Amino acid sequence: MTTAITRRLAQQGVGADEADKAVEVIDAALAADGPMTRAQLSDRLAAAGIATQGQILVHLLAEASVRGLVVRGPVIGRQHALVRVSDWLGAPPARFAPGRLDRDVALAELARRYLVGHGPASERDLAKWAGLPLRDARRGLSAIAGELRDRDDGLAELVPGHSAAGRDRAAELPRPRLLGSYDPLLHGWVAREPVLGTASGIVTVNGLFRPFALVDGRAAAIWTMSIGQVVLDPFAPLPEPVAAALRADAQDVVRFLG
């Protein structure tokens, strides 16, 4: 990830020294003034003489993120603000203190945390989600093999109750709900077919991920906003209880977006 960001910044004329300076400016701004939007951070960078045009800002913020300094925090208006990791998440556990976390321990923890939110899953799912080589995904899963159980479908999941990360209750399908653009549900595994089925138009040929309705764990409709209202385009007629649940969720979406 860091290599890719460095390459993209270099292609846009931003060298390593300027990237370092930009990260320092971002960190200092958030330390002084708390959560800030992209636009606000762009102004701070520009005031420091650092270019932000095109995709430069996105990659500078990504660089600050992969260095473990910033994360997305509260919503300001309609935008996610960025915050310092230490302000938003607090001090890291002692085992994560600088200089104490070697690569094997980190890969094991990554695999464990991934399966908490995405299990059951495969080694290829973990590799795709984390942007790691397959060998590293295997290494992380092997390190926590004693916490896993293999399923008949070849996927692995954490043994419930084995650790604080394990789930003690059976997974339940979520209620009908509206999911936004680029929802993590479509980015957590190699295959999207279990969610999308034969639905077309949600993931477009130019790489856009459109908002959709999830019903019984499957995509059931595409939705858009028009004149302050949610407009639903179902793939098939929806039972009235499902339609009612989605209308209620739509009211929450409209209220949230103001």
List, as own/partner pairs, every contact residues 106-112 make where C-beta atoms lie below 8 angstroms and the sequence separation is at least 24, other chains included: 107/132, 107/136, 107/139, 107/140, 107/143, 108/140, 108/143, 108/144, 110/140, 111/137, 111/140, 111/141, 111/143, 111/144, 112/144, 112/147, 112/158, 112/163, 112/165
**Contact partners, residue 35, CB within 8 Å, separation at least 6:** 73, 74, 76, 81, 82, 83
Work out the average pLDDT over 75-90. 87
Q: Which pLDDT belongs to residue 204?
A: 86
Q: Which pLDDT belongs to residue 189?
A: 93
Contact present, 149 and 167 (Cβ < 8 Å): no
Residue 96 has pLDDT above 70, yes or no: no
- Sorting pLDDT into bands at 50, 70 and 90, what band is 169? very low
Query: Which of 14, 17, 37 is CA-nearest to residue 26?
Result: 37
Contact present, 181 and 211 (Cβ < 8 Å): yes
H-type alpha helices, 75-188: 85-89, 103-118, 123-130, 134-143
Residue 166 has pLDDT above 80, yes or no: no
Measure CA 256 to chain center: 20
Q: What is the chain's mean pLDDT, rounded? A: 88
Of the options 1.10.10.10, 3.40.718.10, 1.10.3470.10, 2.30.110.10, the CATH number for the domain spanning 2-89: 1.10.10.10
Reading the block at residue 104, the tokens are 């094997």
- CA dist 180 and 224 (Å) reads 10
- Tell me the CATH number for domain 94-158: 1.10.10.10
Residue range(s) in the chain whose domain bears CATH number 1.10.10.10: 2-89, 94-158
Residue 164 has pLDDT above 90, yes or no: no
Q: What percent of the chain has pLDDT over 70?
A: 91
**What pLDDT, in 10s, does the model give residues 184-240?**
899 999 999 989 988 888 998 788 899 999 999 999 999 999 888 999 999 999 999
